[in-house]
């Protein structure tokens, strides 16, 4: 247990250095706020300290120059697997050099069908915090909030619902209910009709 607590502390330091001065999209909020919130949610929903450490690192490959191998070398294979399964970018991608949003999200939703329960919990907590903050901003600032995102509301609604569906039965029922409810609240606040394959 002491070793796990030490790993959690090291993961926070690692994330702080890797993410540097990054902020939450369209805000001045330090990015570490999101990482801390997700890690806390993981523990509150029954995760262990290794999963909490992975939660602190869940975006480090997707949004910084850190590689999965560096995560494995620093924190072990268990954390490495979770971080890899949280990541929606490929090995040939980097911040500022990613495939189009829809292409990445389609592939990610497909991969979610096969991830393990330890990763599923971290992913669900990540999406729960993302949608929580988005819903708060929509209530405070209205539809102007959507301008800072890479996809229009119909595609975001598709993604939120698809992720919730993929995680059903593999995360605590209460967590899944919250995730699904957030998708429907997003639909209500934006008036979005879900994007379907074949549409622009």
**pLDDT the model gives residue 138:** 97
Residue 89's CATH number = 1.10.3210.10
Question: Pick the catalytic residue: 62, 70, 93, 194?
Answer: 62
Q: What pLDDT, on a 0 to 100 scale, did the predictor assign at position 164?
A: 98
Residue 104 domain flag: yes
Instruction: Tell me the average confidence (pLDDT) per consecutive run of 10 residues in the chain, 200 residues long.
Output: 89 97 90 97 98 98 94 98 93 78 94 95 98 97 93 97 97 98 98 84
Asked, for residue 88, whether it belongs to a domain, the answer is: yes
Q: What are 165-196's pLDDT values in tens digits?
A: 999 999 999 999 999 999 999 999 999 999 98
Domain assignment present for 196: no
CA distance 176 to 124: 8
Residue 149, in any domain of the structure? yes
Length of the chain: 200
Residue 73 among the catalytic residues = no
pLDDT at residue number 197: 77
pLDDT digits (tens, 9 = 90+) for 103-122: 999 999 999 989 999 999 99
Q: What is the predicted pLDDT for the residue at 128?
A: 98
Whether 197 is in a domain gets the answer: no
Which of 48, 63, 70, 194 is the catalytic position?
63
Number of domains comprising the chain: 1
**Residue 22: DSSP 8-state:** -
Model pLDDT, residue 104: 93
Q: Please report whether residue 198 resides in a domain.
A: no
Structural domain including 174 reads 2-190
**What does the alpha-carbon distance between residue 54 and residue 86 come to, in Å, rounded to a whole number?**
9
State the pLDDT at residue 200. Answer: 65
Q: For residue 149, give every residue at least 6 positions away whose Cβ sits within 8 Å of its Cβ, in sequence order, or none.
A: 25, 26, 156
End-to-end CA distance of the chain: 51
pTM of structure: 0.95
63 annotated active-site: yes
| Residue 26 placed within a domain | yes
pLDDT at res. 26: 80
d(CA 102, CA 72): 28
């Amino acid at each position: 247990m002491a070793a796990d607590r030490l790993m959690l502390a090291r993961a926070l330091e690692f994330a702080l250095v890797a993410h540097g001065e990054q902020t939450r999209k369209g805000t001045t909020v330090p990015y570490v706020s999101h990482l801390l919130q997700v890690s806390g949610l993981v523990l509150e929903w029954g995760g262990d300290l290794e999963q909490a450490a992975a939660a602190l690192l869940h975006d480090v490959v997707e949004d910084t120059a850190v590689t999965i191998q560096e995560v494995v070398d620093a924190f072990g294979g268990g954390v490495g697997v979770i971080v890899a399964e949280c990541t929606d970018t490929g090995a040939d991608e980097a911040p500022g050099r990613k495939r189009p949003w829809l292409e990445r999200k389609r592939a990610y939703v497909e991969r979610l069908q096969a991830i393990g329960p330890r990763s599923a919990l971290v992913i669900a907590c990540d999406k729960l915090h993302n949608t929580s903050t988005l819903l708060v901003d929509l209530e405070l600032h209205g539809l102007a909030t959507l301008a800072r995102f890479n996809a229009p509301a119909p595609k975001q609604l598709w993604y939120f619902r698809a992720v919730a569906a993929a995680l059903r039965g593999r995360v605590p029922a209460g967590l899944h209910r919250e995730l699904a409810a957030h998708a429907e609240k997003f639909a209500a606040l934006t008036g979005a009709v879900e994007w379907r394959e074949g549409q622009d």
